[in-house]
């Protein structure tokens, strides 16, 4: 019986094939092609990484002020001290007196003169020749040395199987047509160059990933992704879905429109026409509805649900938080129950008996419209006949959690139509690369009567002044929010907490009722506070970000966000959207504590200057990257490894065009290209 050997550290990193190693490209490079005397290093090495070598003349371990190893080397010109604050016995042995070592690092002024702290060290002979290429520094995990990765990569580059894996199979004619102005190397040459760039290479272009060798690799990766998404688009159009055409004046949607206390804006009418057209098709809709906070996306979701229910099908609306889901539930009940529609509620916080009852009416079809949290996609939920799934704030769920429900009606297998909604606009580059299978509709105008929100940035030292202004505000009969980033005291962040602020504001504003809502309250407690706030029984609501989405109180026209420097772009944009919903002039105060980082300063400045969701989304993308915006950062799914969506945006259109040509004229090469770049990850891109 053979025992299975445990994976090596490299295999645990996923570096288990020559191809995986070849695509494990360097993060940066060190120039070990030049060697300086110790005297030159002392002169040139201040704030520059520099390489020198010498013989160890002293090696001592000191214990004050802390355990450290001091090593002194010398050559014919001078001596240099090396300091190691963390070291192993093997390193002591490596740098024993008499050893000849080559070191690389920055020279800094220490207690005892010029020194290198934690330089890279190699034992060498005094006449060892210098490398002719830059030394790659690879991304690595704990316990994996650069030497072991370099050795494995060099072996992989010599492997005969790699020649086939990196073979040039994109037609020369296609490449010439696509890339006439780009002098890019062949793929194998590009990858070899990136692992072993010559000493005279343009290191700036290599580090910025704009070198022609990088461009070739980035293009190939984007091409694989675009092919995958375009294929998913084609496959979706081959699936069956029930067709829901408008029933005209006799339909439920007309009844809903008649009952609404407002008229649709032109932007809403245009978007509803696009979605209505999708619902009439015999393949499943896959549409993203974008609209700034307060633009009126919920009514579009209600109209889509009405169209589907007109045909005896069910509609489901899923939201990421209980507060948002509950807002939808109350709104939908208000609109649909007078029209004879049964609306069901399902969330994780329901008691077991209530949950079973909800599941029963969903499964029987008695409930035509179902509203809930992620509890809707759990195994025990079985729909009778689901025709439409609406997912609100879809980026908050993560890529894997979107609904793809297939069911049988008689002998036919069909998919439900799917609509995602987001108040955080998707930046154009992100839409082109990760949402290429989505049709996108944008509500680009706010309902009439909505007033712009004035945003002010204020230092936390003016807190008393802000509370004074708040008193004047509440005296006018208006309501306000006070938002805090934490519930309990954190020794690390030392921030004002929601509980502390609630107590302080209750004392400071004795004539007004102050309420508190946060994520740890039970759902019925939260609902009671929110209902009291809506009824103006509470004038000031102190809250954590649980009110980020879904709260609609027109009389609340002021928001104070405490420690605004701790919030991200989209969070503040969403929070700010809770005001400006009534006829009063609305204000959002961003209160910050000093010192401010450069990033926080830029963020607050941008939010003060613009309320354009698309501008804010682009800034957010540059700050956080696609993984976090897609909800996939923690899921273990790899994003694009070599492409920066903003720096390389021009490559995306090139890759889209190439993907269309390959799918149309070279379908035999498509599978080879996908396998090379994505392997098993092609499914992820269809999500």
Same domain for 537 and 421: no
Nearest to 629 by CA among 390, 293, 321, 398: 398
Among the ranges given (45-49, 435-439, 462-466, 639-643), the one the predictor scored with the smallest mean pLDDT: 435-439
Token output for 585: 């002039």
Cis peptide before 206 (omega within 30 of 0): no
Residue 206 clears pLDDT 80, i.e. is over it: yes
Residue 398 clears pLDDT 90, i.e. is over it: no
C-alpha of 427 from chain center: 12
Residue at 641 is within a domain: no
Specify which residues 541 forms β-bridges with.
481, 515
Residue at 198 is within a domain: no
Residue 621 clears pLDDT 80, i.e. is over it: no
Distances (CA, A) of 171 to 175, 181, 272, 652: 6, 17, 44, 19
> What's the pLDDT band for 680 if we cut at 50, 70, 90?
very low
Predicted confidence (pLDDT) per residue in 148-197, tens digit: 999 999 999 999 888 888 888 887 777 777 665 667 888 999 999 999 99
CATH code, 464? 3.40.50.300
Domain stops at, among 112, 130, 148: 130
Residue at 457 is within a domain: yes
Specify which residues 80 forms β-bridges with.
73
Specify which residues 113 forms β-bridges with.
110
State how far the Cα of 158 lies from the Cα of 156, in Å rounded to an integer: 5
Specify which residues 104 forms β-bridges with.
51, 120
Q: CB–CB of 422/393 below 8 Å?
A: yes
Distances (CA, A) of 586 to 296, 554, 577, 613, 616: 18, 10, 10, 18, 20
CATH code, 96? 2.40.50.140
Same domain for 523 and 418: no
Helices (H) and strands (E) in the chain, counts: 25, 24
| Per-residue DSSP letter, 495 | P
Residue at 409 is within a domain: yes
Domain stops at, among 88, 110, 130: 130
Which strands make up the sheet holding 453-459, listed edge to edge?
A: 453-459, 586-592, 556-561, 479-483, 540-543, 514-517
Strands 113-117 and 107-110 turn out to be antiparallel
Predicted confidence (pLDDT) per residue in 2-36, tens digit: 567 788 888 888 888 898 899 999 999 988 888 99
Alpha helices in 209-296 (DSSP H): 212-238, 252-259, 266-279
Same domain for 438 and 463: no
Nearest to 426 by CA among 256, 633, 618, 144: 618
CB-count burial class (<10 Å; 0-12, 13-18, 19+) for 175: middle
Distances (CA, A) of 579 to 290, 482, 549, 588, 592: 19, 12, 11, 8, 20
Token output for 231: 């294929």
Share of the chain above pLDDT 70, in %: 85
Share of the chain above pLDDT 90, in %: 33
Same domain for 38 and 105: yes
State how far the Cα of 531 lies from the Cα of 555, in Å rounded to an integer: 13
Among the ranges given (31-40, 338-347, 484-493, 615-624), the one the predictor scored with the smallest mean pLDDT: 484-493
Residue 636 clears pLDDT 50, i.e. is over it: no
Return the higher-pLDDT residue of 445 and 201: 201
Q: Domain of 340?
A: 248-443
> What's the pLDDT band for 292 if we cut at 50, 70, 90?
confident
Arithmetic mean of pLDDT, 302-321: 92
Return the higher-pLDDT residue of 513 and 168: 513
Domain count, the chain: 3
pLDDT of the residue at 149: 93
pLDDT of the residue at 404: 53
Residue at 216 is within a domain: no
- pTM recorded for the entire structure: 0.68
Q: CB–CB of 433/645 below 8 Å?
A: yes
Q: CB–CB of 53/124 below 8 Å?
A: yes
C-beta atoms surrounding 583 within 10 Å: 11
State how far the Cα of 482 lies from the Cα of 594, in Å rounded to an integer: 20
State how far the Cα of 472 lies from the Cα of 474, in Å rounded to an integer: 6
Contacts of 351 (CB under 8 A, 6+ apart): none
Domain stops at, among 417, 443, 469: 443
Same domain for 534 and 410: no
Cis peptide before 528 (omega within 30 of 0): no
Predicted confidence (pLDDT) per residue in 537-568, tens digit: 999 999 876 664 456 788 888 999 998 888 87
Arithmetic mean of pLDDT, 571-576: 80
Arithmetic mean of pLDDT, 469-479: 92
**What is the average pLDDT value for the chain, to the nearest integer?**
83
Same domain for 556 and 438: no
Token output for 637: 């799914």
Same domain for 437 and 474: no
Residue at 191 is within a domain: no
φ/ψ (deg, to 5) at 451:
-100, 150
Predicted confidence (pLDDT) per residue in 62-85, tens digit: 988 888 999 999 999 999 999 998
φ/ψ (deg, to 5) at 516:
-130, 130
Residue 370 clears pLDDT 90, i.e. is over it: yes
Q: CB–CB of 252/258 below 8 Å?
A: no
Arithmetic mean of pLDDT, 31-43: 90
Contacts of 3 (CB under 8 A, 6+ apart): none
Alpha helices in 239-377 (DSSP H): 252-259, 266-279, 297-309, 322-336, 352-364
Residue 627 clears pLDDT 70, i.e. is over it: no
Residue at 1 is within a domain: no
Same domain for 332 and 254: yes
Among the ranges given (180-189, 221-230, 363-372, 400-409), the one the predictor scored with the smallest mean pLDDT: 400-409
**DSSP readout, 506-538?**
HHH-TTS-EEEE-TTS-HHHHHHHHHHHHTTS-
Arithmetic mean of pLDDT, 265-290: 92
Same domain for 458 and 417: no
Q: Of 104-113, 180-189, 617-626, where does the model show the most confidence?
A: 104-113
Same domain for 457 and 595: yes
Contacts of 618 (CB under 8 A, 6+ apart): 427, 428, 646
pLDDT of the residue at 410: 59
Same domain for 437 and 457: no
pLDDT of the residue at 394: 56
Same domain for 381 and 354: yes
Residue at 672 is within a domain: no
Own/partner pairs, 657-663, CB within 8 angstroms, 24+ separation: 657/178, 658/174, 658/178, 658/219, 658/223, 658/226, 659/223, 659/226, 659/227, 659/230, 660/230, 661/174, 661/177, 661/178, 662/170, 662/174, 662/223, 662/227, 663/227, 663/230, 663/231, 663/234
Residue 322 clears pLDDT 90, i.e. is over it: no
State how far the Cα of 324 lies from the Cα of 316, in Å rounded to an integer: 14
**Cα 518–Cα 520–Cα 526 angle in degrees, nearest 5:** 55
pLDDT of the residue at 39: 93
State how far the Cα of 434 lies from the Cα of 288, in Å rounded to an integer: 12
């Amino acid at each position: 019986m053979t025992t299975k050997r445990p994976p090596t550290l490299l295999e645990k990193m996923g570096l288990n094939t020559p191809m995986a190693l070849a695509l494990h490209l360097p993060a940066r490079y060190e120039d070990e092609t030049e060697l300086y005397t110790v005297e030159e290093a002392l002169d040139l090495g201040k704030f520059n990484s520099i390489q020198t070598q010498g013989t160890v003349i002293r090696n001592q371990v000191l214990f004050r002020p802390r355990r450290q190893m001091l090593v002194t080397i010398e050559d014919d010109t001078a001596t240099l001290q090396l300091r190691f604050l963390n070291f192993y016995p093997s390193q002591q042995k490596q740098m024993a007196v008499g050893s000849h070592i080559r070191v690389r690092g920055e020279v800094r002024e220490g207690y005892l003169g010029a020194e290198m702290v934690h330089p890279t060290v190699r034992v060498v002979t005094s006449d060892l020749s210098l490398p002719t290429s830059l030394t790659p520094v690879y991304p690595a995990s704990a316990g994996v040395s650069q030497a072991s990765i370099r050795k494995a990569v060099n072996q992989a580059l010599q492997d005969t199987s790699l020649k086939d894996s990196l073979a040039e199979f994109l037609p020369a004619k296609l490449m010439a047509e696509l890339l006439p102005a780009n002098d890019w190397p062949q793929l194998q040459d590009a990858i070899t160059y990136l692992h072993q760039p010559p000493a005279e290479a343009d290191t700036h272009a290599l580090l910025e990933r704009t070198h022609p060798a990088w461009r070739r690799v980035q293009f190939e990766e984007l091409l694989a992704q675009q092919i995958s998404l375009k294929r998913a688009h084609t496959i979706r159009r081959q699936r069956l879905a029930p067709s829901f055409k408008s029933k005209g004046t006799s339909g439920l949607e007309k009844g809903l429109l008649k009952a609404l206390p407002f008229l649709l804006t032109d932007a809403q009418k245009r978007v509803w026409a696009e979605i209505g057209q999708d619902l009439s098709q015999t393949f499943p809709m896959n549409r993203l509805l974008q609209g700034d906070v307060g633009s009126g996306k919920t009514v579009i979701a209600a109209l889509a649900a009405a169209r589907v229910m007109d045909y005896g099908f069910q509609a489901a609306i899923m939201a990421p938080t209980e507060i948002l889901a509950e807002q939808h539930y109350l709104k939908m009940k208000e609109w649909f129950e007078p029209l004879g529609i049964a609306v069901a509620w399902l969330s994780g916080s329901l008691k077991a008996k209530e949950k079973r009852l909800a599941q029963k009416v969903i499964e029987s079809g008695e409930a035509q419209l179902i509203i809930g949290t992620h509890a809707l996609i759990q195994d025990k939920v079985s729909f009778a006949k689901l025709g439409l799934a609406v997912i609100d704030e879809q980026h908050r769920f993560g890529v894997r959690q979107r609904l793809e429900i297939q069911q049988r009606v008689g002998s036919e297998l069909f998919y439900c139509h799917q609509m995602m909604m987001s108040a955080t606009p998707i930046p154009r580059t992100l839409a082109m690369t990760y949402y290429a299978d989505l049709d996108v509709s944008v509500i680009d105008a706010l309902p009439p009567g909505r007033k712009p929100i004035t945003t002010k940035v204020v230092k936390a030292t003016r807190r008393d002044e802000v509370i004074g202004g708040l008193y004047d505000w509440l005296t006018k009969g208006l309501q306000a929010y006070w938002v805090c980033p934490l519930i309990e005291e954190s020794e690390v962040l030392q921030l004002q907490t929601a509980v502390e602020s609630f107590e302080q504001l209750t004392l400071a504003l004795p004539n007004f009722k102050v309420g508190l809502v946060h994520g740890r309250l039970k759902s019925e407690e939260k609902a009671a506070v929110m209902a009291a706030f809506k009824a103006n029984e509470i004038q000031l609501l102190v809250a954590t970000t649980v009110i980020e989405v879904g709260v609609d109180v027109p009389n609340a026209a002021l928001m104070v966000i405490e420690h605004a420097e701790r919030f991200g772009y989209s969070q503040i944009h969403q929070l700010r959207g809770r005001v400006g919903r009534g006829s009063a002039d609305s204000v959002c105060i961003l209160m910050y504590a000093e010192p401010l980082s450069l990033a926080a300063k830029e963020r607050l400045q941008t939010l003060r200057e613009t309320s354009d969701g698309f501008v804010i989304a682009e800034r957010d993308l540059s700050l956080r990257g696609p993984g976090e915006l897609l909800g996939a950062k923690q899921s273990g799914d790899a994003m694009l490894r070599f492409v920066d969506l903003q720096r390389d945006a021009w490559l995306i259109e090139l890759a889209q065009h190439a993907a269309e040509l390959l799918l149309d004229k070279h379908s035999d090469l498509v599978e080879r290209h996908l396998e090379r770049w994505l392997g098993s990850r092609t499914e992820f891109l269809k999500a």
